[in-house]
């Protein structure tokens, strides 16, 4: 009996796959699909532009801050495991090569997992000064722009799928083929979040524990707020500024009624409009993060503007 079932699988399954494959070929060649594809062509082109923009933000953005000073001179010494039995334990070697790894005591690893921002500042030499804060804010902007642009891309792709509404088996089994046929470029969807690691390796290398801190935009916002509280602000104009966090960006977009200050396009005109918050006078030219120096721009106007500088 079980042999009969096995035969059914051996014969029927490939036939089922073949039929499905032929149905897929027929669907993509159908006049109906070709017509729908032409209807969404402009939306697809726009999606692909945003996809290129995501790549630009990734290539030009800033995605690291601070470093651990442990092991910064480790290359000056040789390291050899001289234990009698030459145990092969990779964990025995502390990871000094990466500046994002802090080798520390077990207590520090445990404390870092319960109080990550405080330990990040302390052990990765992040000074509480105005310059470093501006640096971290600029990294936070790169990361949140990337997060927003990627989310926007996913919304656009979902709306293209909904508009075409292919048969269920296409989305289930031939999603990549669907993207190719529609003409969607494959975007790079991963975000290079900076990651900081507190690592403990016991003397014998028998045990190892670590605590990881990933700096996504909400972690960066906490870092910005914590650092700002530590800074003894000078009585300068910089001291009057706001902190460049997600809350401020949302405030500016809301103030500008979710419309681009340059070309005036708004989310009422375009459901998937990607809006960004721009420094009117760039930070690199001394512009401050104050409400009067911030404006909402659509991604296209913001890209044109930043290419000029």
**Site of interaction with Zn ion (CB under 5 A):** 260, 262-263, 298, 301
CB closer to Zn ion out of 69 and 304: 304
Neighbours of 248 (CB within 10 A): 19
Nearer residue to Zn ion within complex by CB, 157 or 276 = 276
User: Could you tell me the smallest distance in angstroms from the CB atom of residue 78 to Zn ion?
Assistant: 58
Q: Which is nearer to Zn ion, 36 or 262 (CB)?
A: 262
Which H, E and C letters describe 216-268, residue by residue?
CHHHHHHHHHHHHHHCCCCCCHHHHCCCCCHHHHHHHHHHCCCECCCCCCECC
Minimum distance from residue 161 beta carbon to Zn ion (Å): 27
Q: How far is the CB of 255 from Zn ion (least distance, A)?
A: 16
Q: Which is nearer to Zn ion, 211 or 295 (CB)?
A: 295
Least distance CB 300 / Zn ion (angstroms): 6
The Cα angle at residue 280 between residues 279 and 286, in degrees rounded to 5:
70
**Which is closer to Zn ion, CB of 176 or CB of 269?**
269
When the beta carbons of 188 and 261 are compared against Zn ion, the nearer one is: 261
- Residue 138 C-beta: closest distance to Zn ion, Å: 22
Q: Which is nearer to Zn ion, 30 or 254 (CB)?
A: 254
Q: Are 257 and 266 in contact (CB under 8 A)?
A: yes
Q: How far is the CB of 297 from Zn ion (least distance, A)?
A: 6
Least distance in angstroms from the C-beta of 223 to Zn ion: 31
């Amino acid at each position: 009996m079980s042999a009969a079932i096995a035969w059914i699988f051996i014969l029927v399954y490939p036939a089922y796959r073949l039929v499905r494959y032929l149905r897929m070929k027929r669907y993509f060649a159908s006049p109906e699909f070709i017509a729908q594809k032409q209807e969404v062509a402009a939306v697809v082109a726009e999606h692909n532009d945003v996809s290129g923009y995501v790549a630009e933000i990734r290539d030009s953005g800033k995605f690291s801050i601070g470093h651990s000073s442990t092991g910064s001179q480790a290359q000056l010494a040789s390291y050899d495991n001289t234990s009698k039995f030459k145990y092969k334990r990779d964990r025995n070697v502390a990871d000094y090569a990466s500046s994002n790894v802090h080798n520390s005591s077990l207590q520090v690893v445990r404390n870092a997992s319960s109080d990550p921002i405080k330990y990040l500042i302390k052990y990765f030499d992040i000074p509480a000064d105005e310059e470093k804060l501006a640096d971290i804010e600029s990294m936070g902007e790169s990361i949140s722009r990337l997060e927003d642009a990627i989310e926007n891309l996913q919304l656009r792709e979902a709306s293209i799928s909904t508009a075409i509404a292919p048969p269920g088996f296409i989305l289930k089994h031939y999603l990549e083929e669907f993207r190719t046929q529609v003409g969607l470029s494959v975007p790079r969807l991963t975000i290079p979040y900076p990651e900081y690691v507190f690592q403990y390796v016991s003397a014998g290398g028998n045990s190892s524990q670590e605590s990881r801190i990933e700096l996504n935009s909400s972690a960066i916002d906490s870092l910005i707020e914590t650092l700002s509280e530590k800074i003894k602000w000078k009585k300068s104009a910089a001291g009057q500024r706001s902190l460049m966090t997600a809350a401020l960006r949302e405030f500016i977009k809301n103030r500008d009624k979710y419309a681009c200050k340059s070309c005036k396009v708004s989310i009422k005109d375009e459901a998937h409009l990607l809006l960004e918050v721009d420094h009117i006078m760039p930070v690199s030219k001394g512009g401050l993060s104050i409400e009067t120096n911030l404006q909402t721009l659509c991604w296209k106007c913001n890209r044109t503007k930043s290419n000029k500088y």
